[in-house]
Amino acid sequence: GGFVVLPKPVATGTKLTLRMQFESLDSITKFNNSYFRMSRFGWLPFVRIGDMIDTFELTVKTPSKFKTLGVGRKASESSASGVTTTTWVGESPVNFPTVIFGDYLSDTPRKGLVAKRSDGTPIDVNIYVDKESTHALDSAEASDTGARDIRTSQLQAKADEAANALNLYREIYGVDYPFHKLDLVNDPFGLVFY
């Protein structure tokens, strides 16, 4: 929570637009050597469970070896001196703007399989798995480092399932998927893709 001190009193019911800039240098969680995320709690002011953030613009800098994924639309991406800077802009209200980054392998649905809105507009479907999770589980130590034995040959089949699901739900419920993309990312604790 927090409060704002205004320079002078305002009448009750007055609508104000507040623009805030917030910086946190201690908001990154490392799950394993190839998967990181920005904490949803504490790095964005005035956020609690259930709050909706109508608009946002997040700028994230990561080492260039990592792929950055975020909620919303990627408005820009540039690289210089081993650092990639991406900017994410909200397209619809969200509870918590989320950004993750990692050393990923990725895939898309097989050629010809496209998730579409009812007007035929395609929806990008991508699947990502951090490289650490593709290592075989051959020792107790491996599970502590993030090894999950996820086979890269599974990725396209999972992307196919996701595209088919979007199309099926559109047909059953008569409602389009509301976002321009669907990015599926493995759980670093290994609870999915088994």
| Consecutive 10-residue averages of pLDDT for the chain (194 residues) | 82 87 69 70 60 83 91 93 94 80 92 96 94 68 58 90 97 93 79 42
Q: What is the pTM of this model?
A: 0.71
Instruction: Tell me what percent of the residues of the chain surpass a pLDDT of 90.
Output: 41
pLDDT in tens, 63-120: 999 999 988 899 999 999 999 999 999 888 887 777 888 888 999 999 999 999 999 9
List all residues 6 or more positions away from 162 whose beta carbon is below 8 Å from its beta carbon: 109, 115, 125, 127, 182, 184
